[in-house]
Amino acid sequence: MSDGSAPPLIELRAVTKTYGQGQAAFQALRGVDVTIAQGEFTAIMGPSGSGKSTALNILGCLDTPSAGSYLFRGVAVETLSPDQRALLRRHCLGFVFQGFNLLARTSAQENVELPLLYRGADSAARHRAAQEALARVGLTGWERHTPAELSGGQLQRVAIARAIVTHPLVLLADEPTGNLDTTRSHEIMELLATLNREQGITVLMVTHEPEMAAYAGRTIRFVDGLVASDSISLSPSNDVKP
């Protein structure tokens, strides 16, 4: 959490996002104010079209506000060049998606190494870091398996290992349990909670499932492009589950 002297890790200030023009214009965000401290685990919820995924895309530097400001450690992200935003994504952010987004004919280890390849890391460093990341998600011994040889839960673990191999400050998860059964979903949520608690990774997760949101210490609900509620959990599931 912030010590009061440093800026918050993340701030959205009066952020709006409009798609299209004229009568076809759609305002996905209508003046959103959100502050996230380092080390938080926050669930972002809301019905379809509420703006939650748009907010996550802006937080992940995949989109920019139409108005307002997104500050990352006090720096206005919208003032950065595309190359600078790409560097911010590469060095500070990790992404986990509902559909895993793994390369089909590539081993688990090679999938996890991909972000390090983009960074220009040498082969030995990539191998070592990927093995460590896979071990952290419980997949030691599965490094050489391709996605076709892995279960849904294992695929999402590989995707999480790929997201954390660069030691990001923030992990952005978009419906990370959407393609999993109940048992696998809880396993993935416990893994995310452990990474947040033990590694100090800030987790921002979009979900439509209250049972999954219960793992977070905070829940922000979007309705019609606005923050409808912002609540802190006194006993998140990640504090009471084994």
The mean of the pLDDT values for the chain is: 92
pLDDT tens profile 12-50: 999 999 999 888 899 999 999 999 999 999 999 999 999
Examine the pLDDT at 235 and tell me if it is beyond 90: no
Residues 182, 234, 197: CA angle, nearest 5 degrees: 65
Mean pLDDT, to the nearest integer, of 152-178? 94
The two structure tokens encoding residue 83: 């190359």
Report the candidate in 9, 61, 80, 47 with the shortest Cα–Cα distance to residue 210: 47
pLDDT tens profile 143-163: 999 999 999 999 999 999 999
Mean pLDDT, to the nearest integer, of 94-109? 92
Cα separation, 173 vs 56, in Å, equals 9
Distances (CA, A) of 235 to 105, 108, 208: 42, 35, 20
Mean pLDDT, to the nearest integer, of 100-127? 93
Interacting residues of 12 by C-beta distance below 8 A, sequence separation 6+: 32, 33, 34, 35, 55, 58, 59, 65, 68, 69, 70, 71
Examine the pLDDT at 240 and tell me if it is beyond 60: no
Cα separation, 99 vs 113, in Å, equals 19
Mean pLDDT, to the nearest integer, of 212-224? 96
- Which pLDDT value is given to residue 242? 37
What topology does CATH give the domain 10-234? Answer: Rossmann fold (3.40.50)
**pTM more than 0.85:** yes
- Which pLDDT value is given to residue 241? 43
Mean pLDDT, to the nearest integer, of 114-141? 93
